[in-house]
Amino acid sequence: MMPRDCAMDLFPDDRRRLMLDPGAVLLGGFALPDDRLLLEAIATIAEAAPFRHLETPGGRRMSVAMTNAGRLGWVSDPRGYRYDPNDPLGGAPWPAMPQAFAALARNAAAKAGFDDFAPEACLINRYEPGAKLSLHQDRDERNLDQPIVSVSLGVDACFLWGGPTRADRPRRLALHHGDVVVWGGPARLTFHGIDTLAPSTHPLTGALRYNLTFRRAA
């Protein structure tokens, strides 16, 4: 179920390319042709690098479970937020980024107007009912000229799209299975998040939602 105040149930044609702000676009259903392949790849990655609940620098356990694929992986612990080439659980390199992941990220970025995007990190978030991601900026990357590509799979979520400061009141946009959001340029440091995931089911993921976030980290 989607919270009633999370309104973006437009006609399909209206969601194929919906501008959120200059530099930010929602590509409705863009990942649908690859959804099963993407979910199979997530399962394979999680076998090598299991999902885990990271701890913030302040000592708070994150409600969202995470893992990574690619040359670099995003991690958080009492030492801070950072990218690391190795999984801290066992010290091995993160699983390689599947070709389907990289191709989808490049194609979505190009569709949104960002050519030559070459992602080297994919953060995979797994949401269970009750999980959320507070408003934040993606600013741990060294090169902020590159966009963020975010892919939604599984149950619907309420996307919080804010502004350049945390105090800006966010818009609440429904994200459906297969939706992709790309932001960069003037929107690169927009505050964003995911509201508390409501109980629901999807035929491919059950009660879960997965999010793939592609970045150029170094």
Q: 173 with 190: CB under 8 angstroms? A: no
- Report if residue 79 sits inside a domain: yes
User: Which CATH number covers residue 16?
Assistant: 2.60.120.590
CA–CA gap between residue 127 and residue 93 (Å, rounded): 24
Instruction: Give the pLDDT confidence score for residue 14 in this predicted structure.
Output: 74
- Report if residue 76 sits inside a domain: yes
Q: What does pTM read for this prediction?
A: 0.95
- Report if residue 89 sits inside a domain: yes
Q: Is the pLDDT of residue 20 over 70?
A: yes
Instruction: Give the pLDDT confidence score for residue 7 in this predicted structure.
Output: 58
CA–CA gap between residue 122 and residue 98 (Å, rounded): 10
- Report if residue 6 sits inside a domain: no
Q: What is the pLDDT of residues 136-184, one digit of tens each?
A: 999 999 989 999 999 999 999 999 999 999 999 999 999 999 999 999 9
- Report if residue 3 sits inside a domain: no
Percent of the chain having pLDDT more than 90? 89
* Residue range of the domain that includes 158: 12-49+57-146+153-210
Domains in the chain, number: 1
- Report if residue 7 sits inside a domain: no
Q: 140 with 57: CB under 8 angstroms? A: no
Nearest to 140 by CA among 212, 188, 193: 188
Q: Specify the higher pLDDT residue, 9 or 204.
A: 204
Cα torsion for 36, 37, 39, 41, to the nearest 10°? Answer: 160
Range list of β-strands (E), the chain: 18-21, 24-27, 65-70, 73-77, 80-84, 121-127, 133-136, 148-154, 157-161, 171-175, 180-183, 192-194, 209-215
Q: Is the pLDDT of residue 10 over 80?
A: no
Tokens, residue 72 = 């670099």
